[in-house]
Amino acid sequence: MRLELLGTLVERQLRLRSKRSVFGVVWPLAAPLLLLALYLFVFTSVFTAPVDRYGVYLFAGLLPWTFLVQASHDALQSISFEPELVRRAPMPYHYLPLARVVVMAIPFLALLVAFVVYLAVVGDEHLRPVLLPMLAVPVASTLLVVATIAVLLALLDVFSRDLRYVLHNLLTVWFFLVPIVYDRRMVGPQLQAVTAVDPMRRVVEQYRDVLYDGRIASPVAHVVTLGACAALFLASLVLFRRLAVDLAKDV
Amino acid sequence: MNDPAVVVDQLWEGFRRRGRYGWRRRGEPHWALRDVTLSVGRGRSLGVVGANGSGKTTLLQVLAGVLRPTRGQVDVRGRTASLVDLSAGFHRDLTGHENVLVGGVLLGLTRAEIRARYDEVVDFSGLPADALDAPLSAYSAGMGLRLGFALVVHTDPEVLLVDEVLAVGDDSFRARALGRVDELRRGGTALVLVSHDLDLVRARCDDVAVLERGSLAHVGRPDEAVAYYRSRQAVTDDGAAERRVFDPSRRAAAARRRRGV
């Protein structure tokens, strides 16, 4: 029954995205490809990135990252823009941001599959089919991190509108800290230490393990990250339950 | 009748006042409901009347489970369906058909149950079939409401909460809606009806509660309660003009009190 509610909200969101929009459901596919083209141009034609096969390296990071950005922006107002739903009937309100995450996960996963197929077709020598099932671990971690952020953002936006003005900037800073466009070994150890606890950095590195390096140095690290992401998600749900009381008064 | 479907015991519902940046301030909240105690038996109906801002809608929201009682106990037994605002929880960009499916799930039906009842809901609403494929934004207020009401009364509610919505439908729909409500009540559904239509309340409710600034001023037989409310209205209308006069010195005094000066 609860799953049915989430499924219905996902369907509702998909239908809403396709209203009065020719490519409402398809646009999210374009964003990472656009960024890929942009950074490839800057770092192969203008500057030269000291990273081999830069396109593959870049896209392995851009994929989960654009999913995070799109789902965050979409989830931010998922509760505060639905006062009718909130006042309608009691329901698990965190399903509203989670439905947005599910909807945004569709283009993410589709692009990931397309990326693997592309690597196979061009015969990328680092692509090792035996490792591909291991992608499930960073994918699961990504879903959990994004869901955590979506739930917290949606809740915060009910109480304060400030995030609407700064979310974009915060995500940009995070984007360059992760890092997506350069290799973290290109910066000093202090900055690396700061980002050591960043789950997105871990996740991006794990996609690169499988899709770029073709070897997983530490499978245990992948699983530990997954566990940490699951713990973060559970913590966000606990926090949501504690704070999302009488939301009908605030939306 | 002896087995109440709704029990409200010493309910207080407070809204925190907000500071300049929207953060909720500490201190005494604004009490939308103060010490309200009432009950509604199965198959019975309670009318709730009161001026704007007297707490009627807040009471329905607490009964619907959307708001948690700040103090006191509220016990609503059984499936609850509410039609608390005119939008009925519908999204203006979705079609009538899509809204019924989503709304039904939100009201606790399974998708299979909604599909099974869909034709019945549409028949009851009296909307032309092609309207169901149009977005809600193309509906008149009355049309959207008819669909919302049709859906709500087809969810087998044991407790039905209705806020001022019967005022929007035309006469034939109103007659059909009231007939359906009677039918539900014979099946044991408890009804809480908020309305400014005192004739409707008097004709349709077993008991009537009068809210005054969040407090229960009177509960009793419809005739008495409506007469009481009318007499109070005459009094407060006289006083209202005087009270609402803007008085800067009172505001300044209130601000000093808040600062503790």
Q: What is the mean pLDDT of residues B158-172?
A: 82
Task: Find the farthest-apart pair of alpha carbons in chain A and give their distance in angstroms, rounded.
Answer: 58
Cis amide linkage into residue B69, ω under 30° from 0: no
Residues 86-145 of A with CB under 8 A from B: 86-91
Task: Kindly identify which residue of chain A lies nearest to residue B65, measuring between CA atoms.
Answer: A90
Q: Coil, strand, or helix at residue B94?
A: coil
* Model pLDDT for residues A135-189, shown as the tens digit of each residue: 999 999 999 999 999 999 999 999 888 999 999 999 999 999 998 999 888 888 8
The parent domain of residue B179 ranges over 4-259
Query: How many domains does chain A fold into?
Result: 1
Q: Determine the residue of chain B that is closest to A158 in CA distance.
A: B22
pLDDT at B245: 47
Model confidence band, residue A19 (pLDDT cutoffs 50, 70, 90)? confident
pLDDT score recorded for residue A184: 84
Which residues span the domain enclosing A243? 2-249
**Over 60: is that where the pLDDT of B244 sits?**
no
- pLDDT above 70 (res B75): yes
Confidence at A195, pLDDT banded by 50, 70, 90? confident
Are the beta carbons of A88 and B89 separated by less than 8 Å? yes
Are B17 and B29 in contact by the 8 Å Cβ rule? The answer is yes
Q: Please, is A61 exposed, middle or buried when counting C-beta atoms within 10 Å of its C-beta (0-12, 13-18, 19+)?
A: buried
CATH number of the domain residue B130 falls in: 3.40.50.300
A-chain CB neighbours of B87 within 8 Å are 84
Predicted confidence (pLDDT) per residue in B33-56, tens digit: 999 999 999 999 999 999 999 999
**Other beta carbons within 10 Å of A42:** 12
Using a CB-CB distance cutoff of 8 angstroms, which residues of chain B are in contact with residue A90? 64-66
| ipTM attached to this prediction | 0.82
Tokens 């300049």, located at residue: B20
